[in-house]
């Protein structure tokens, strides 16, 4: 058999022909010198922008001291991170990992193990939602279930029951004696910036309590201040979950994730039931602590709300001015989506011509995820670039 011609880099990404040399706050500088306003933030990762001085200094200081030790030892930086996450959330205990998918894997394992430890091992199925995205591991693609993620990867992991997002009756109908948990993104990200409908999460919380199920939120994309609250569900006025995965914004660009849970939900997670070689190592924990230093400072979230309102008002004005291009404005705070009429990837490409980076999502949505440290003037600049982008699609 002839060898297929394959690039040295596995071509699983359809990459834009653009490479960057450095980042300065909300701006990315390409290798050819062009400057781009970054309304993607590495897909909700660089929440504090690029080269944030506090993150750079923390990383440099920690790098000179200690990068990694095994989790068989005490890790003070990790303990501090866990204490702070517990102090700022519903959670009573935290497991650290390296990515969003791993955080959601931990959530799934926690839920199954909870029922096992409580003498109900048959409760091992998790209800998940159409349009969801939880990562690219076997469990997380099985959880999300869409053919786009799972095709060719069978056999999938059993134990997930998929229902339409927002449909309470379908959810009630699928809950049975094997159900362990309900797992969802309070605001679907890859699915097209779809916040849970008003009251939906309250109803889901009530169903969980009624049937003895754990409620799991995937806050990997909408968490860490993006909505103007530490967690996206808080911005929806929704009740707390029992278990929650976070990642992306937690490290501001350094790979780190975490699974947060109540003490009750954690009851099955005894010594040796789960682990991670790199999870929460001193370098990752130091950087995540530095991110928390910034986002948990008094007034930070209030500022995100003000910035998010400014962006939303500007987007609504744009939608009114360009009804032939923008169909709908979605989202909260600084996680916004434009449902556009042209192909979203083409919209994003035209945006780049005007110096703006955005990220396509499902439902033909263009995601706007600027760093939380953006200034009002930079938001206005982004809106002007979007205005020019829309004008480029005029009939
Ligand atoms: C990005 C994302 C994940 C997966 O995170 P990785 O770090 O890529 O594994 C999971 N859930 C949601 C909601 C995400 O947006």
Mind listing the pLDDT tens digit for each residue in 35-52?
999 999 999 999 999 999
Going 25 to 30 to 34 to 36, the CA torsion angle's sign is negative
Pocket test for ligand 1, best of 104, 146, 196 (most atoms within 8 A of CB): 104
Q: Among 222, 223, 132, which Cα is nearest to 141's?
A: 132
Question: Could you report the per-residue pLDDT of 275-292, keeping only the tens digit for each?
Answer: 999 999 999 999 999 999
Q: State the pairing for strand pair 365-368/359-361.
A: antiparallel
Q: Among 127, 364, 100, which Cα is nearest to 258's?
A: 100
Residue 1: predicted pLDDT: 56
Give the mean pLDDT of 173-201. 98
Q: What is the dihedral of CA 55, 59, 60, 63, to 10 degrees?
A: 180
Which spans in 145-245 are helix H?
A: 147-150, 168-174, 200-211, 232-235
Quote the percentage of the chain above a pLDDT of 90: 98
CB 195 less than 6 A from any atom of ligand 1:
no
Q: How far is the CA of 393 from the centre of ligand 1 (A)?
A: 32
Structure tokens at 258: 């975490």
∠ at Cα 234 (87, 85), nearest 5°? 20
For 23, the enclosing helix (H) or strand (E) is: strand 20-24
Q: How far is the CA of 257 from the centre of ligand 1 (A)?
A: 10
Residue 334 backbone phi and psi in degrees, to 5: -105, 30
Nearest CA to ligand 1 atom 11: 134
Q: How far is the CA of 140 from the centre of ligand 1 (A)?
A: 9
Q: How far is the CA of 221 from the centre of ligand 1 (A)?
A: 7
Q: Distance of alpha carbon 66 from its chain centroid, rounded?
A: 28
Residue 238: predicted pLDDT: 98
Residue 3: predicted pLDDT: 65
Structure tokens at 121: 């091992």
Residue 5: predicted pLDDT: 85
Task: Decide: pTM greater than 0.95.
Answer: yes
Q: How many CB atoms lie within 10 A of CB 297?
A: 10
Length of the chain: 395
CB 219 less than 6 A from any atom of ligand 1:
no
Quote the percentage of the chain above a pLDDT of 70: 99
Q: Which residues pair with 35 in a beta bridge?
A: 29
**Mean of the per-residue pLDDT values for the chain?**
97
Rounded alpha-carbon distances, angstroms, from residue 179 to 104, 134, 159, 214, 375:
17, 19, 9, 9, 46
Atom of ligand 1 nearest to the CA of 137: 9
**At a CB cut-off of 8 Å and minimum separation 6, what does 232 contact?**
185, 186, 187, 195, 217, 219, 222, 223, 226, 332, 335
Q: How far is the CA of 203 from the centre of ligand 1 (A)?
A: 25
For 36, the enclosing helix (H) or strand (E) is: strand 35-38
CB 232 less than 6 A from any atom of ligand 1:
no
């Amino acid at each position: 058999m002839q060898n297929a011609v394959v690039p040295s880099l596995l071509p699983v990404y359809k990459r834009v022909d653009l490479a960057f040399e450095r980042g300065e706050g909300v701006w990315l500088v390409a290798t050819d010198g062009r400057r781009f306003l970054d309304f993607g933030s590495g897909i909700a990762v660089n929440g504090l922008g690029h080269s944030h001085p506090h993150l750079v200094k923390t990383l440099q200081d920690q790098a000179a001291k200690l990068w990694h030790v095994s989790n068989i030892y005490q890790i003070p930086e990790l303990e501090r991170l866990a204490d702070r996450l517990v102090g700022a959330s519903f959670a009573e205990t935290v497991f650290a990992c390296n990515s969003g998918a791993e955080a959601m894997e931990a959530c799934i394992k926690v839920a199954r193990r909870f029922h096992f430890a409580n003498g109900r091992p048959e409760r091992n199925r998790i209800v998940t939602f159409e349009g969801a995205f939880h990562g690219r591991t076997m469990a997380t693609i099985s959880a999300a279930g869409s053919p786009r993620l799972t095709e060719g990867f069978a056999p999938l992991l059993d134990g997930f029951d998929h229902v339409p997002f927002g449909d309470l009756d379908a959810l009630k109908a699928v809950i049975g004696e094997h159900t362990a948990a309900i797992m969802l993104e309070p605001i679907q990200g890859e699915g097209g910036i779809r916040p849970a409908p008003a009251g939906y999460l309250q109803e889901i919380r009530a169903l969980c309590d009624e049937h003895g199920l754990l409620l799991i939120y995937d806050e990997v994309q909408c968490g860490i201040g993006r909505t103007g609250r530490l967690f996206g569900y808080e911005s929806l006025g929704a009740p707390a979950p029992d278990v929650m995965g976070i990642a992306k914004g937690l490290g501001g660009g350094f790979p780190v994730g975490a699974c947060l849970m109540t003490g009750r939900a954690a009851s099955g997670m005894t010594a040796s039931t789960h682990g991670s070689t790199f999870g929460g190592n001193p370098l990752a924990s130091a950087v995540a602590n530095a991110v928390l230093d910034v986002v948990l400072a008094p007034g930070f979230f209030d500022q995100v709300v003000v910035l998010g309102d400014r962006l939303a008002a500007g987007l609504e004005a744009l939608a009114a001015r360009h009804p032939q291009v923008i169909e709908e404005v979605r989202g909260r705070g600084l996680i916004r989506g434009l449902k556009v009429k042209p192909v979203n990837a083409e919209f994003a490409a035209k945006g780049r011509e005007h110096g703006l980076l955005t990220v396509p999502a499902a439902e033909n949505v263009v995601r706007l995820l600027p760093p939380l440290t953006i200034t009002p003037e930079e938001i206005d600049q982004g809106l002007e670039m979007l205005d020019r982008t829309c004008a480029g699609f005029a009939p």
